[in-house]
A and B are shown apart, each in its own frame.
Chain A
């Protein structure tokens, strides 16, 4: 990673007395995010490993690809399966990204107290606010960006590879490219990732808050208050309102982004069916964001007062 901080606001070899008394929040934020990435390399390694497995599968399917392309060219097969390796890559990398973001958030304000390094971090002029925001930025911004970058590069590789396979087997690449709608994929996917990140923000904010509060096993404290009542509800009333609420909060982002009328009904098929105006006027989205902001504020308050455990 290069260091854009140099371009931010570091004075060029200033004389001693002109040294700044404080760095800008942008610079502190940049270094805070960077050190999170040093500590938690799984943020990019785990999705990379998933993508590598996906690519391995694609390489193995090279054996059957020429046969399938010829069948499409002759009209003997439908092209529907052509997109499936791309969708599979996107889905699996996003799923890994979700788990990485979740586990990261559950440790965000917990591991620094457990290993006592909080006493080192607090000896430096980085405020609790910047620290918490930089930690929140990992699941809410860094993971979606990393996810898209990995999906984009691995899909590009698959497209390139399939084109090569076509050429080598003497099949015109137009057969492949006529049915390969990557433009849609590369517009719809980042849109969905942005909506999903905003939609899931309260989930990760809750995890971060619990990680700053719990003395041990933050995962139990984070999930317990939802899972236990859901089980009680299911057992006592045979209803699933709490479980449904949890499911919508966790996975509802894509459903909202990619449905024509909301509620995950009527999945879109074309870019033009995306309706950001409708998605961004959903009250649930804004209620979630307000809750996320409140929980992060509480996390800042907690970090100010928490001591090593």
Chain B
């Protein structure tokens, strides 16, 4: 059974269509990055999966309908829907007490262990913590819950790069194992690409690309060419082209590696480059 399965998922706010017939299947044990520009429908998709917003179409998460069986679902699903949603009046010790009080799968010792690596004091109130510390606290609470599915919506928004790096390292090393599934949305594509197993690009409520990282590496190639070879390279129909210092970088979808290597240096493009290439292509088509 897939962890998340969506068919023709649709959601409109008045005349604005946030999700326009999304088909998606996420197997258990994967780390999926949901990537898209602002207003692409990423957050709406996550809210639907969490049973926080009604939707049209079919959606099952861990075998449950998130909207009608939300209470049941929340025993196995954890999420950080936004940064800084921890109640500001709460003390750190109260947050630990409360989550231990209501969540059967919360391992308090584990949470205390995560907190032990930070400078967060048990007696502090959330409002006294820095933004980074609030995220660390939230993550410590969430990672100590033995959930089957973890959903993170822009979990590192507004944090500095050190925190962001620490956040994803800790997620991968301390939390993830093959029995769990993680879905994460973010703008900072470069920072998540090394932890993802799968990636979905979403734009204007539709899926633009749905692939595993291995497929992505096999499919997309980046060619660096000198101006002399540029014309020849262009005949191979690149997806996207950008000028660099003295060289041009072209991204190809499903091109023959050997052909490209005749023209210049070939490497695997970064996720950010593929994203820009695919989104640029869509915008050209739309224009």
Give the interface segment out of B86-94, B156-164, B216-224: B86-94
Residue with the highest number of chain B CB atoms closer than 10 Å, among A31, A118, A120, A308: A120
Task: Report yes or no: B89 in contact with A120, Cβ–Cβ below 8 A.
Answer: no
CA distance A28 to B106 in the complex (A): 14
Contact A20 B98 (CB under 8 A): no
Could you tell me if B71 and A127 are in contact, using CB atoms closer than 8 angstroms?
A: yes
Inter-chain contact B105/A117, CB cutoff 8 Å: no
Task: Known contacts A21-B75, A38-B94; decide if A124 and B99 are in contact (CB<8 Å).
Answer: yes
A124 to B101, CA, bound (A): 11
Cα distance A116–B134 when bound, in Å? 14
Closest Cβ of chain A: how far from B84's Cβ, in Å? 7
Using A119-B85, A125-B71 as known contacts, say yes or no to A23 and B52 having CB atoms under 8 A apart.
no
Interface presence of A307 (CB below 8 A): yes
Q: Is the CB of A39 within 8 A of B87?
A: yes
**Separation in Å of the A231 CB from the closest CB of chain B?**
36
* Given A122-B52, A124-B74, A124-B99: A38 in contact with B90 (beta carbons within 8 A): yes
For residue B103, CB closer than 8 A to chain A, the reply is yes
Q: Give the shortest distance, in Å, between B149 (CB) and chain A (any CB).
A: 12
Among A30, A34, A38, A119, point to the contact of B89 (Cβ < 8 A): A38
- From 60 to 88 in chain B, residues with beta carbon under 8 angstroms from any chain A beta carbon are 70-71, 74-75, 78-82, 84-88
Partner of B102, one of A28, A116, A118: A28
Count of CB-CB pairs between chains A and B under 8 Å: 76
A27 and B101 in contact, given A117-B86, A120-B86, A123-B79 (Cβ under 8 angstroms): yes
Tier of interface size on chain B: 20 to 34
A125 near B81 with CB under 8 A, answer: no
Interface size, A (range): 20 to 34
B87 touches A120 (CB 8 A): yes
Q: List residues 90-123 of chain B with CB under 8 A from any CB of chain A.
A: 90-91, 94, 98-99, 101-105
CB contacts (< 8 Å) of B94 on chain A: these are 35, 38
Q: Known contacts A115-B87, A119-B85; is A22 also within 8 Å of B75 by CB?
A: yes
Q: Give me the interface of B with A, judged by CB distance under 8 Å.
A: 50, 52-54, 70-71, 74-75, 78-82, 84-91, 94, 98-99, 101-105, 138, 142
What are the 4 tightest A-B residue pairs by CB atom distance, in nearest-first order? A31-B101, A117-B87, A119-B85, A119-B81
User: With A39-B89, A123-B74 given, can you name 13 additional A-B contacts, CB distance below 8 Å?
Assistant: A19-B105, A21-B75, A21-B104, A22-B104, A23-B102, A27-B101, A38-B94, A115-B88, A116-B84, A117-B88, A120-B86, A304-B70, A305-B54
